[in-house]
Structures are given as structure tokens and as C-alpha cells.
Amino acid sequence: MSKALAIGDKAPELAIPDQQGKIVTLDSFKGKQVVLYFYPKDDTPGCTKESCDFRDVESQILRAGGMIVGVSLDGKESHQKFIKKFGLPFPLLSDEDARISKAYGVYKEKNMYGKKYWGIERSTFVIDPEGKVKAIFRKVKVDGHADEVLMALKA
């Protein structure tokens, strides 16, 4: 197990496909701050609210020199439907083998109704223009989260 990612660390590389199947890397965002949010599943209540909250503050995030990228274990077809249904203006990446989620330390054993399974723990990372981790939000509570992230971007 690698040590947990800390503020100031170099952000792990991405290199996974977006909803169009295009490979996305951190280098493609050089010079911008990246709001990288990991969420458990497309079109589920908490994830939908979180994604729509980010959609609603996107213009402010862009003005602050940032951009939003979502990551889940869902495939690109699922992402395409989710984006279309809620008008999400930012890319969603498919981490189907959980490689990136593991690199960011957000792939965890979860427990629902007594069943144990592995999945993404809702988490957000703000990555600075040099590719270093600027802010980390783990075990995110959706309400008010987009505003917290906006404040971290402007900090």
C-alpha cells in the first residue's frame, strides 16, 4: 500500500479515457487548476447532486482558472448518458480497472447492508497548474461541497 496522497505531492498521472474514449492525461490541463472529483456511480442520487452542483458552479471555477473532471468506475456509454441527462459540461473519465482510483487512494472496501464490496469513496482533489496536489477532500458530504472546492481553488 503506498502512502496516502498529501498536499504538495505530485498528482498521480491519469491516462484514462473520457466519455468519448479519448485518453485524458494531467498534461493536457497544464497551466490550469484541475478539480478532480471521484464519485461512486453515474446517475445515483448523491453522485447526481454532486455532479449537478459542480455543473452549477462551473463558470465560477473556470473564472478562477480551474476546470472540472469527474472520475468513476463506469464505462463511457454510462458516462455519455449521465452527461446528456443532466447537461454536464465537463469530461467524465472511465476508471474501469480502478487503477487511477487506487493511485489516488480512493478505492476502498465499503459496506452496504452487511455486504462488503470495493468501490470509490467520494473524494475531490484540487491540482495546481504545476501538477501538484493543492487541496484534498475525502469522504465528501455532497451538500456545500462544490462551494468548498471553489474556495480552495481561489485560495
Catalogue the active-site residues. 47
What is the Cα–Cα distance from 29 to 121, expressed in whole angstroms? 24
Residues contacting 77, CB < 8 A, separation 6+? none
What is the Cα–Cα distance from 119 to 134, expressed in whole angstroms? 24
